[in-house]
A = this chain, B = another copy of it.
């Protein structure tokens, strides 16, 4: 499938600026990102309750459309939807759609005709979720669960929630993102979200071969050395080495990568004493991060997972509510 490039339009928002699809943190105003974080914060407590369920999406149908397999991301969305009392349908589209020769667009329109309310889309191609939201099923609320190298906006927002809950605000923070920036939709979503939320010092640390062309446009400082890059930062976001996505030649070896860019206890000592360590998971122990750091008391990696459920609950419920409002608005206009 060849897809149109992600548009810069307001496709994500209703006419009065509410979230309707969640495709990318790009082009979303600071107030909306803060709204997502506030809503998510209210859901963090739900996970600790005896009855971890709220009726916000009762009677709604959420379809997990995974064109790219990811048990982990699918599970978090499934749990988030179920805790909102939605009905969940898991579809492995890669297998089902092609086996009978149906086109992707026909598959999606069929699901829309079954009165699905929301698609969580995971796709290997950049822009897939945008394309579906704009051109295929605009009546269905679309949540981007990761598209190619483009975006992974719920991961971005759960990282922001983690930072806010541990550091209070973004205004005086230094945040370093370390590793395979080039292939990382997480890095892209994080840089954009940090910028919008007012973080004054965003750093990326990577070997030159793993930096995208034009990285400066994100308003970040680029480092190719860990010691200088990590100096006095408040937050270290380690990226997963995307071995499965790399065609050979960009890296000498895993050992070499770890020697130069792995987060060790010694290197972390250069950051602020209360710096937190984050990672989107799953972690490669001894490849991008030392076990002692991953399991150490500066690590908030498992907190990220907890906040991930809360952020997904927030985004699902907000987009559902915005999509419903938009439909009513359009129906009234049509009358």
> CB within 8 Å of B: which residues of A?
47-53, 58-61, 69, 71-72, 75-76, 78-79, 82-83, 87, 89, 91-92, 95-96, 99-103, 106-107, 109-115, 243-244, 281-285, 302-303, 305-306, 308-309, 324
Contact = CB atoms under 8 A, between A and B. Distances in A.
A79 B101 contact: no
B71 A61 contact: no
Contacts of A76: 114
A87 B91 contact: no
What number of copies of this chain does the assembly contain? 3
Nearest to A109: B302
A95 B306 CA distance: 23
A99 B71 CA distance: 10
B51 A284 contact: no
B59 A282 contact: no
9 contacts: A47-B115, A49-B59, A61-B82, A71-B91, A75-B91, A78-B89, A102-B282, A110-B302, A113-B303
* Residue from A115, A305, A308 having most chain B Cβ neighbours under 10 A: A115
Given A49-B59, A114-B308, 7 more contacts: A52-B60, A69-B99, A71-B96, A102-B282, A106-B285, A113-B302, A113-B303
Nearest to A116: B79
